[in-house]
Structures are given as structure tokens and as C-alpha cells.
């Protein structure tokens, strides 16, 4: 296998980096930019160049020139990145008076992905905990990275008469929500029941493979991709939706890139489905309570910067009676990462939580009582952060999946 096979494909991206440092130090309130890299900020005084984009680009230039090799030591730094994509959003965008078209030539996540692929191919990755996740994902008795029996992933669906084996409108439940936040899926089904909506679900769905792809081990997901596509074709699915931001991104973006053609079905996120249902008057909300409730919304990286899905969740919130949405100072394309992505949560849990605590503090600054989001990884990590913080913080804010919030209001 050719050395640096994937990095050589993004050579132009790497050498387009001018080393200006906006990816680490940009602050411009007029552009709603308040720093860029969550890892750099969470590490504080312990951070140095390789912990944010400019430093990694500098290292990659040396690697591509043959000055330094790929190594396990390098991998330890590389995987301390959530792949949130904020560096791409900020690249040469901090000052509107300075227009540098070079920023349009760099897709940082493509570069980090290429680097991770080459680290895996060279045998320097996956790291220990990442390797365990992939092993569990590929275990035929599990097919999920949590090491749970396959049957447990579908237990949440018991008792719902509006779940069918086949149909045009099908759910891809993923692994995290069924195994760690099953109540949210039950609430989703209550919403569908109230609207008289049936869905199709298979009990042979495998992990979408996102965890392995983010780590860079694409060979490990070849079976998963083929199996899942054929599965939903056999179900007669025309629309496949997922309540998980990671699964949504993987199915909608990664799968077509891997197979080299469009999928035989449309992929939607649950917020797109719910927004359509509200627009079609399929969801009836209760009357507003006397006091207006302030909520804020966190944009998951896999929905926002990765897939440009920002407005549907806000459209949903705007239609709920008695609710006022107050935005955090960093929102939409400039939203601060929750810290759980890119394999950071599993391999570097404390770093992940430190990033999440910063986001929690930002949510509290808005005066909101409810902290909404639409990704099970974000929900889990933000809740973990709140639980580690003071009782005063815990009294001020509650992290809630947008599905659960809707269910409370119908």
C-alpha cells in the first residue's frame, strides 16, 4: 500500500495553509467569532501548536516533504481533535475586510480524515480504546461499539403497534440512542402515535460505522455499509431517517462517497421529519403555560458544520407555544463543540468533559432553563458535564433532547 496514500490526495489543502493562526486565536464579536478550537482552549496552558489546526498543518507539511515520519506518538496528538470543523469555518473569515480566497481551498476535516486513514494503514492507529470499539462493532453477536447483545438494541420498540417490518418510511436507530437513551426513542414513537404515523424498523440493522470512519479505519466498515444499504432496500424504504446526528451524517454523506453513487433512498434527520410534521399540522401542542420558558439550542457539529442543518431545529422550537429561544453567543456555524466527537470521548474522556463544561457555562449565560440539542452524543456528554459541575449549575440548567421536549409539550 503506497505510503501517505491519503495525505498526498490533500496536498493542496495542506500547503494552502498560510499559518495565520485564526484557527487558534480568532476573536471578532461582530462576526460572532469567539475563539475557534475547543481542544486548544480546554487544554489551556498545556496546549501547544499541534493541538490546533495551524500546528497540525505545519507537521503535515514536514511529513509530506519526508522530513518526519508518521508515528504512534503523533497519533496520540492527532486523536485529540473532535473534528468539529470550526477551523474551516474560521479560516480567513475573522476580518470581513480581508478577503483571502485561499480559505476556500482548505477542508480541514478532509485533511484530518486523510491523516487518520494513513495512520491506520501504517499501523500507528487505532489507539487502544478506539480499537476496542471497532472490535465490538464488528463482533457478529453485537454489531455495536458498546458491547451489548444485538437484541438489546431493539428493546425500546416493544409495544408500539405503529412499528412495521417493512415500509417506505424507515428508521435507522443507530447504537447510542437505543442502548443509552432509549426513553427518547419511546418519546419519539409517542409523537408518531399521536400523529397517526407508522414507521418501518428492522431488527437486523448494524452499526452505521461512524465510529470507525472518524478514527480512519474505513476497511473495518465495508461489511456494515453494504449490509445496511441492502437491508433498507429490502424493506422498501424510500426515506430513512435517524434520530442520531452521527448516523445521519454517515448515511447521507459518507455512504454515497464510499460506494461512489447515490443511495437508493433519501436520508433525513429526525428534526427534518418533525419540522415537516409541524408544518403539516400533524403535531398538536398543548396551550402555553402562564410563564414563558426560555430555552437555548446547541448545534451538533455533525448536523451543523458537517451537514449545514441549522434551521429545522429552530423552526420546531419557534412553533412550541410559550417557549422563547435565546441563542448562545456562539451558535450555528460558530457553535462551540460539545467535545464528544472524533473519538475524543472514548480515548480522552476528561478532555471531552472539559470542552463540554465550557459549553454548559455558555448556555447558562443565556438565562435559559432548558438546554436543547438533537444528538445523543451531545446529550450524553453535556449531561455528564453538568453532573460533574456544582449543584448551583445543576439547579440552573437541564440538558434535554429536542424529541423529549416535544413529547412533553403535546
| pLDDT score of 392 more than 80 | yes
Task: Decide whether 128-278 matches 285-408 in CATH topology.
Answer: yes
Collapsing DSSP to helix, strand or coil, 235 comes out as coil
Q: What is the mean pLDDT of residues 371-376?
A: 98
Could you give the CA distance from residue 215 to residue 218 in angstroms, rounded to a whole number? 8
pLDDT at site 97: 67
Written as nine digits, the cell of 170 is 424507515
Could you list the beta-strand ranges (E) of 151-207.
Answer: 163-164, 169-171, 199-200
The model's confidence at residue 98, banded by pLDDT at 50, 70 and 90, is: low
What pLDDT is recorded for position 103? 64
Q: What is the CATH number of domain 285-408?
A: 3.40.50
**Is 387's pLDDT higher than 80?**
yes
Output the pLDDT for position 99. Answer: 63
Name the nearest CA neighbour of 139 among 166, 170, 165, 175. Answer: 175
Give the closest residue to 378 by CA, choosing from 325, 316, 306: 306
Neighbours of 244 (CB within 10 A): 27
Cα–Cα distances in Å, from 106 out to 163, 178, 326? Answer: 44, 36, 32
Tell me the pLDDT of the chain averaged across its residues: 95
Residue 32: per-residue pLDDT: 87
Q: Does position 133 have pLDDT exceeding 60, yes or no?
A: yes
Closest by CA to 378, choosing from 79, 177, 111, 167, is 177
Q: Which residues, 6 or more positions from 397, have their beta carbon under 8 angstroms from its beta carbon?
A: 360, 363, 364, 368, 369, 370, 371, 386
Distance, first Cα to last Cα, the chain: 56
The CATH number of 128-278 is which of 3.40.50, 3.30.420, 2.40.50, 1.10.3470? Answer: 3.40.50
Q: pLDDT, tens digit, for every residue of 162-205?
A: 999 999 999 999 999 999 999 999 999 999 999 999 999 999 99
C-alpha cell at 7: 495525505
**Helix, strand or coil, per DSSP, at residue 314:** helix
Give the Cα separation of 380 and 369 in Å (integer).
18
How large is the average pLDDT for residues 326-336?
97
Confirm if 252 and 232 have CB atoms less than 8 A apart. no
Q: What's the confidence (pLDDT) of residue 31?
A: 82
Name the helix (H) or strand (E) containing 391. helix 391-396
Q: Which of 259, 240, 176 has its CA nearest to residue 202? A: 240
For the segment 83-95, what is each residue's pLDDT rounded down to a tens digit? Answer: 999 999 998 776 6
Give yes or no for residue 272 having a pLDDT over 90: yes
Average pLDDT over residues 132-147: 97
pLDDT of residue 177: 98
How much is the average pLDDT of 208-233? 97
The pTM of this model reads: 0.95
Q: Side by side, which strands form the sheet with 398-401?
A: 323-325, 293-297, 370-373, 398-401
Report which of residues 300 and 290 the model is more confident about: 300
Question: What is the predicted pLDDT for the residue at 92?
Answer: 74
User: Please, how many CA atoms are within 13 Å of residue 20, restricted to the half-sphere of its CB?
Assistant: 17
Could you tell me the residue ranges of all domains in the chain? 7-121, 128-278, 285-408
Strand 163-164 relative to strand 199-200: parallel, antiparallel, unpaired?
parallel
Question: What confidence tens digit (pLDDT) does each residue in 58-75 have?
Answer: 999 999 999 999 999 999
Nearest to 59 by CA among 37, 75, 35: 75
pLDDT digits over 229-249, tens only? 999 999 999 999 999 999 999
Phi, psi for 281 (deg, rounded to 5): 60, 35
Cell of 239: 426515506
Amino acid at each position: 500500500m503506497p505510503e501517505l496514500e491519503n495525505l498526498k490526495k490533500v496536498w493542496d489543502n495542506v500547503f494552502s495553509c498560510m499559518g495565520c493562526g485564526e484557527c487558534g486565536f480568532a476573536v471578532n464579536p461582530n462576526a460572532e467569532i469567539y475563539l475557534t478550537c475547543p481542544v486548544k482552549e480546554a487544554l489551556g496552558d498545556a496546549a501547544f501548536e499541534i493541538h490546533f489546526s495551524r500546528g497540525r498543518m505545519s507537521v503535515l507539511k514536514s511529513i509530506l516533504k519526508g522530513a518526519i515520519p508518521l508515528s504512534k506518538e503523533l497519533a496520540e496528538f492527532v486523536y485529540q481533535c473532535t473534528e468539529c470543523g470550526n477551523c474551516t469555518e474560521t479560516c480567513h473569515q475573522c476580518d470581513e475586510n480581508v478577503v483571502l480566497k485561499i480559505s476556500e481551498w482548505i477542508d480541514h476535516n478532509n485533511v484530518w480524515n486523510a491523516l487518520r486513514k494513513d495512520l491506520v494503514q501504517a499501523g500507528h492507529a487505532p489507539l487502544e480504546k478506539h480499537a476496542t470499539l471497532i472490535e465490538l462493532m464488528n463482533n457478529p453477536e453485537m454489531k455495536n461499539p458498546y458491547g451489548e447483545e444485538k437484541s438489546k438494541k431493539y428493546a425500546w420498540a416493544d409495544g408500539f403497534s405503529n412499528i412495521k417490518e417493512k415500509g417506505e418510511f424507515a428508521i435507522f436507530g443507530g447504537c447510542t440512542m437505543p442502548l443509552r437513551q432509549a426513553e427518547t426513542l419511546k418519546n419519539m414513537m409517542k409523537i408518531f402515535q399521536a400523529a397517526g404515523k407508522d414507521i418501518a424498523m428492522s431488527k437486523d440493522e448494524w452499526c452505521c460505522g461512524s465510529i470507525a470512519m472518524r478514527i480512519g479505519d474505513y476497511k473495518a466498515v465495508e461489511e456494515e455499509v453494504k449490509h445496511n444499504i441492502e437491508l433498507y432496500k429490502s424493506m422498501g424504504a424510500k426515506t430513512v431517517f435517524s434520530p442520531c446526528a452521527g448516523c445521519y451524517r454517515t448515511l447521507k454523506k459518507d455512504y454515497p462517497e464510499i460506494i461512489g453513487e447515490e443511495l437508493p433512498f433519501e436520508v433525513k434527520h429526525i428534526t427534518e421529519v418533525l419540522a415537516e410534521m409541524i408544518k403539516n399540522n400533524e403535531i398538536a401542542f398543548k396551550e402555553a403555560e402562564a410563564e414563558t420558558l426560555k430555552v437555548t439550542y446547541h448545534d451538533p457539529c455533525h448536523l451543523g458544520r458537517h451537514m449545514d442543518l441549522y434551521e429545522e431545529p429552530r423552526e420546531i422550537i419557534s412553533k412550541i407555544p410559550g417557549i422563547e429561544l435565546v441563542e448562545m453567543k456562539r451558535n450555528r456555524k460558530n457553535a462551540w463543540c460539545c467535545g464528544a466527537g472524533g473519538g475524543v470521548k472514548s480515548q480522552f474522556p476528561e478532555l471531552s468533559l472539559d470542552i463540554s463544561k465550557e459549553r454548559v457555562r455558555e448556555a447558562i449565560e443565556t438565562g435559559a432553563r432548558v438546554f436543547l440539542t438533537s444528538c445523543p452524543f451531545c446529550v450524553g456528554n453535556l449531561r455528564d458535564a453538568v453532573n460533574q459541575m456544582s449543584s448551583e449549575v445543576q439547579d440552573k440548567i437541564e440538558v434535554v433532547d429536542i424529541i423529549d421536549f416535544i413529547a412533553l409539550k403535546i
